[in-house]
Structure 1
Amino acid sequence: MKLPVLEVCQIILCADIYTVFSAQGKELSKELHNRYFSQDHRLETRGRLFLATCKCICRRYWRGIYCQERICKPWQRGCTSKTQCVNKLKFCDRVKDCYDGSDEDNCSCTSKVCDHGGRLDKVTCTCSCTSDWTGEHCRTPSPSADCGMRQVDKSRIIGGHTADIEHYPWQVQLRYQSARSTWYFVCGGTLISPQHVVTAAHCVVDKLPTRWRVYLGRKKRQKGGEKIRDVTKVFVHEQYDVLKDTNDIALMVLNIPVSFTGRIQMACLPWQPVQQFSSDSACFISGWGSIAYGGILPYNLQAAQVVLIPQSQCADIIDLTDSMICASESLNLLGQVDACQGDSGGPLSCAAVDTQGYLRWYVVGITSYGFGCGTPGLPGVYTKVSEFTVWLEEKMNS
């Protein structure tokens, strides 16, 4: 069998006006054709000769004087040879999909990460972010993003008193189904996406995911709330140490995404180095935990303003790791304000102005443990969320 060769006006040879495909549909170059010649193959004409003008009229997806250049679809990128298109996601994946191997050339940024659903162009080494995020790594909320925004005009300084859920709309309540089928209150949590809640690992470890229930937009501990969601999956950090309280973080996946309202909103994640927080930051803890050590649980949501304690100061008091952060009522550690039993897993949320000038709230910490409740000289210890943002993003996208 001979391959078609067209004489164009006895001067131009359009010998390239065809494409060879293997039986599996893989496009072959002319140079590789002989290797597959004994196998099943088919020909697709790239164009036809128009004798009146002595020009090649190209078929769909081909262009050029000899129809020698492939037109790529929006989700494809052309190889250097210009005769082949490859899925953009296959560029710089360490597998040569272009016959000339050009899809693996100039791949110098394979370690760069684009977060929040952003796509990495490994040729230009830039992130293509979704509409809600911006920045080099898609870690800065755009003005249209919903995270960390409250539908209240101004915040109140609350020193351990009843709080409105509208001020902490990312605060959720976690309940677990007992053997008697009653749902009892266990911990707090923080909504960080329409379908994900972050909490403390010690709240959920060794418990069945399907027996959890999440209450959102709820002010009263025992009743009310706008939405209730079941849990389909729980991720506990692989290096969580129950004895040392390290890596005390877990992620819950809700069965149905929630819609945002004035009482339900997600907090932003504190991507470093985009957001840095210090003892000067406006930070609050919230939850339905006991008002005093060993005391009863409150009827309504409680909140209090706290101060972040510098790592060096806290490390002099307790065995602190880089994945922990401390907070108290002041740098003097008088012990007047603290989280207590029942507050575990809830948010330590701090406010910051983003690069667009919007005030947003970030879940800086997760209530982990303490020494009593409000013990003078001993701050509360929280999981430092900024150390786990990559882990959270990985689990949220899995």
Structure 2
Amino acid sequence: MEQLTWSAVLLLLALSVRETFTQRIIGGQEVERYSIKYQASIQYNRNHYCGATLIRPQWVVSAAHCWRPAQLIQVVLSEHSLVEEEGFEQVFNISKIFVHYSYNYKTFNNDIMLIKLSEPAKLNAYVQPAPLPEDDTPALPGYTTCTVSGWGVTRIYSYFLSPVLRAVDVQTIPYCHHYYYWRITDNMMCAGSRFGGKDSCQGDSGGPLICNGNLEGIVSWGISCANPYFPGVYTQVRMYVRWIDWIINSDNPNN
């Protein structure tokens, strides 16, 4: 009963952030099994509550608001179904967690954290890291097509996670501050559909937004889901490439 209570609390915490801000896959479809090789699931007691992205064999990146004590969580790679064991999962305990030193839990600025796995992942046909963008390249142009993936809810106002990994194509939305005014910082980017109906949602938080083959965004926050007037807000990864490299190299120069 205690384990069930903890699972329910963690799921409700993960779900609550997006209605007053977090996310899920709306308007997408189930992906081909193991086709999104960098996708990770952060779990408590084998219950998914946030997404993450493998960027090095022993490192995943996620949203800082997905933080939980390291001893309580695990990271699962090569996961497709949350309800059945498929035999290809790689399950890891957590060695260390690095939340960005300037993360603001009220504004979601600098909503990024690095998780060091207990051991390196076995890279194979189902598990591969996602490339990071170059930090000195121009920002993505507006309306660039990107893909966001996760196990989040598939209907607005639902609290039931998708049992399988899903994805949807969205577009980067320029002039993000026109939608959210002062809430948007240079460390954030918006993506969605100009017509609504496509978005990430509760349970997708921390997961990847891939544009032109690179990890450009981390699912962070928003108002409602799939609303044309309020696109999803993502941590802009290119703003943190140097920080990511610094953390990894400082922790282990040979990693």
Q: In structure 1, the residue corresponding to 2:105 is in which secondary structure?
A: coil
Shift of 1:298: 1.1
CA RMSD across the alignment: 1.6
Partner in structure 2 of residue 286 of structure 1: 149
Partner in structure 1 of residue 171 of structure 2: 307
Point out where structure 2 has 5 or more consecutive residues left out of the alignment.
Answer: 1-25
The within-5 A match list for 1:1-398 is: 160-176=28-44, 182-204=45-67, 207-223=68-84, 224=86, 225-274=88-137, 276-295=139-158, 296-310=160-174, 313-318=175-180, 319-329=183-193, 333-351=194-212, 361-397=213-249, 398=251
Q: Quick one: distance in 2 between partners of 1:349 and 1:230?
A: 26
Shift of 1:328: 0.7
Identity %: 36
Q: In structure 1, the residue corresponding to 2:200 is in which secondary structure?
A: coil
Instruction: Please identify the structure whose Cα radius of gyration is greater.
Output: 1
Q: Quick one: distance in 1 between partners of 2:126 and 2:27?
A: 21
| C-alpha contact 2:28 2:198 (8 A) present in aligned 1 | yes
Point out where structure 1 has 5 or more consecutive residues left out of the alignment.
Answer: 1-157, 177-181, 352-360
2:188 maps to a residue whose letter is: M
| C-alpha contact 1:175 1:183 (8 A) present in aligned 2 | yes
1:304 maps to a residue whose letter is: V
Shift of 1:279: 3.2
Q: Deviations over 1:295-347 (max 9, x none)?
A: 1111111100010112xx21111121000000012xxx222100100000000
1:289 maps to a residue whose letter is: G
Q: Which structure carries more helix by proportion?
A: 2
1:167 maps to a residue whose letter is: S
Q: Quick one: distance in 1 between partners of 2:111 and 2:150?
A: 18
Q: Quick one: distance in 2 between partners of 1:159 and 1:342?
A: 15
Q: Quick one: distance in 2 between partners of 1:372 and 1:283?
A: 20
Q: Quick one: distance in 1 between partners of 2:143 and 2:189?
A: 15
Q: Quick one: distance in 1 between partners of 2:144 and 2:122?
A: 29
Q: Quick one: distance in 1 between partners of 2:144 and 2:176?
A: 17
Provide the TM-score with structure 1 as the length reference: 0.53
| C-alpha contact 2:218 2:234 (8 A) present in aligned 1 | yes
Q: Deviations over 1:39-87 (max 9, x none)?
A: xxxxxxxxxxxxxxxxxxxxxxxxxxxxxxxxxxxxxxxxxxxxxxxxx
2:165 maps to a residue whose letter is: L
Q: Quick one: distance in 1 between partners of 2:224 and 2:207?
A: 17
Provide the TM-score with structure 2 as the length reference: 0.82
Shift of 1:278: 2.3
Aligned residues: 220
Q: Deviations over 1:18-45 (max 9, x none)?
A: xxxxxxxxxxxxxxxxxxxxxxxxxxxx
Shift of 1:271: 1.5
Cα separation, partners in 2 of 1:274 and 1:192, compared to 1, 3 Å: same
Q: Quick one: distance in 2 between partners of 1:271 and 1:304?
A: 24
Shift of 1:348: 0.3
2:135 maps to a residue whose letter is: Q
1:381 maps to a residue whose letter is: V
| C-alpha contact 1:293 1:341 (8 A) present in aligned 2 | no
Q: In structure 2, the residue corresponding to 1:339 is in which secondary structure?
A: strand
Q: In structure 2, the residue corresponding to 1:394 is in which secondary structure?
A: helix
| C-alpha contact 1:165 1:171 (8 A) present in aligned 2 | no
Q: Quick one: distance in 1 between partners of 2:30 and 2:201?
A: 15
Higher RCO (CA < 8 A, seq sep 6+): 2
Q: Quick one: distance in 2 between partners of 1:316 and 1:236?
A: 29
